């Protein structure tokens, strides 16, 4: 049977349904380990910068205690809405790859996977993959691959919106606008290359080679569904709008009124930093991006930092509370004695 190309065992049949075999890691090899000291150093420098900004603008941060509760409640609702839309996007992508899972379960797992990101950069992808494999037998190669196109599509949408807002509403002559435009253009170009070209790097490290192979395999399957790209882009636009709304509510809670085009640009630049995070949950990176756009918003850097910190606090608290409630709902009955 095996000589004819048919798996002779149940395990063989199951493996034939996955995108590719589970990658194995050579115990003696540590691809990318030389990047760890640089990543840790960058994280410490960014955190030190955030602490310095906090001390410099400590007087403005006192306003956080007097934030309007109604505006803060609106921020909390926007965080939950983002998680709901992202979980639905993940569920539709899993379905396109042949794995149909209930809506609430995907929501709970995606929220729970967001918690490790608060401690270790991008660790949520691995946590979600392990959960899907344990509960539904989704291969790690599949779960890892489905997140890659979504991340690249998200970067594509954010970068395109950033360039459009800057070109039509702000221009390229104002302070910092040149560097911001270059950042969006570079991200947009890289996302286009990742989506539409089959990139093969000779002598690439195993981690990079697997990343490119998984992205190509998943994207080829997803492109067969004509409605996937349109549905994904629509959902990502909704997520991006809700993030900008949350930042606007943060300023409103502190009784600050920024210019809308500058606020949109600040939110979009913060989204880029969030998705390219070197620090846990992009801590320091997103805040720095928002402060960097303070002049474009027509507010002081101190007020911009206060709004960014409030945005961070509300997002973190809502994710932790929602994850705890989701865990109780998802695993509570399983832990009770019958």
Q: How far apart are CA 174 and CA 297, in angstroms?
A: 11
Would 46 be classed as within a structural domain?
Answer: no
Give the global pTM.
0.76
Would 219 be classed as within a structural domain?
Answer: yes
DSSP 23: P
Nearest to 239 by CA among 73, 71, 86, 74: 86
Domain total in the chain: 1
Q: How far apart are CA 302 and CA 222, in angstroms?
A: 44
Q: How far apart are CA 89 and CA 151, in angstroms?
A: 11
CB 242 within 8 A of CB 75: no
Assigned token pair, 253? 């809670």
Would 335 be classed as within a structural domain?
Answer: no
Q: How far apart are CA 152 and CA 166, in angstroms?
A: 21
Output the pLDDT for position 174: 83
Output the pLDDT for position 153: 86
Would 45 be classed as within a structural domain?
Answer: no
Would 58 be classed as within a structural domain?
Answer: no
Output the pLDDT for position 79: 96
Output the pLDDT for position 290: 92
How confident is the prediction along the chain (338 residues), in pLDDT tens digits per residue? 334 333 444 444 344 334 444 444 443 334 445 556 665 666 666 666 666 666 665 556 677 888 999 999 999 999 999 999 999 988 888 887 778 888 999 999 989 988 888 777 666 667 787 888 888 887 766 676 667 777 888 999 999 999 999 999 888 888 788 889 999 999 999 888 877 666 565 666 776 676 666 666 666 776 666 677 788 889 999 999 999 999 999 999 999 999 999 999 999 999 998 877 667 777 778 888 898 899 899 999 888 989 999 999 999 999 999 999 998 988 875 444 43
Q: How far apart are CA 331 and CA 338, in angstroms?
A: 14
Query: 301: Cβ–Cβ under 8 A, 6 or more apart, which residues?
Result: 53, 57, 291, 294
CA distance to 92, 140, 167, 303, per residue, from 128 (Å): 15, 9, 38, 36
Q: How far apart are CA 149 and CA 195, in angstroms?
A: 7
Describe the chain by its helix, strand, coil percentages, rounded to 5.
Answer: 75, 0, 25
Q: How far apart are CA 235 and CA 212, in angstroms?
A: 25
Q: How far apart are CA 29 and CA 10, in angstroms?
A: 32
Output the pLDDT for position 146: 67
Query: 113: Cβ–Cβ under 8 A, 6 or more apart, which residues?
Result: 124, 125, 127, 128, 131
Would 104 be classed as within a structural domain?
Answer: yes
- Range of 234's domain? 63-329
Would 236 be classed as within a structural domain?
Answer: yes
Would 38 be classed as within a structural domain?
Answer: no
């Amino acid at each position: 049977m095996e000589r004819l190309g048919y798996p002779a065992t149940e395990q063989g049949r199951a493996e034939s349904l996955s995108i590719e075999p589970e990658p194995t890691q050579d115990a003696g090899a540590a691809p990318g380990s030389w990047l760890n000291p640089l990543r840790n150093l960058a994280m410490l420098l960014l955190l030190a910068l955030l602490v310095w900004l906090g001390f410099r603008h400590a007087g403005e941060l006192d306003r956080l205690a007097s934030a309007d509760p109604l505006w803060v409640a609106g921020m909390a609702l926007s965080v939950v809405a983002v998680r709901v839309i992202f979980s639905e996007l993940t569920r539709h992508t899993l379905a396109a790859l042949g794995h149909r899972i209930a809506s609430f379960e995907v929501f709970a797992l995606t929220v729970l996977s967001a918690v490790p990101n608060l401690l270790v950069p991008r660790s949520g992808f691995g946590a979600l993959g392990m959960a899907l494999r344990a509960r539904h037998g989704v291969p790690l190669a599949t779960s890892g691959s489905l997140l890659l196109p979504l991340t690249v599509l998200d970067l594509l949408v954010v970068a395109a919106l950033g360039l459009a807002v800057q070109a039509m509403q702000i221009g390229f002559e104002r302070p910092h606008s040149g560097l911001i435009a270059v950042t969006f253009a570079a991200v947009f170009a890289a996302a286009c290359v990742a989506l539409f070209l089959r990139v093969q790097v000779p002598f690439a490290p195993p981690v990079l080679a697997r990343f490119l192979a998984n992205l190509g395999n998943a994207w080829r399957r997803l492109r067969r569904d004509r409605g996937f790209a349109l549905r994904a882009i629509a959902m990502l636009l909704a997520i991006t709008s809700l993030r900008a709304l949350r930042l606007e509510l943060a300023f409103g809670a502190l009784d600050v009124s920024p210019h809308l085009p500058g606020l949109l640009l600040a939110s979009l630049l913060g989204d880029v930093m969030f998705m390219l995070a070197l620090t846990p949950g992009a801590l320091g990176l997103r805040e720095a991006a928002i402060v960097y756009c303070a002049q474009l918003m027509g507010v002081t850097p101190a007020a911009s930092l206060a709004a960014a910190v409030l945005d961070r606090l509300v997002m973190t608290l809502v994710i932790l509370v929602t994850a705890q409630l989701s865990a109780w709902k998802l695993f509570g009955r399983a832990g009770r004695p019958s």
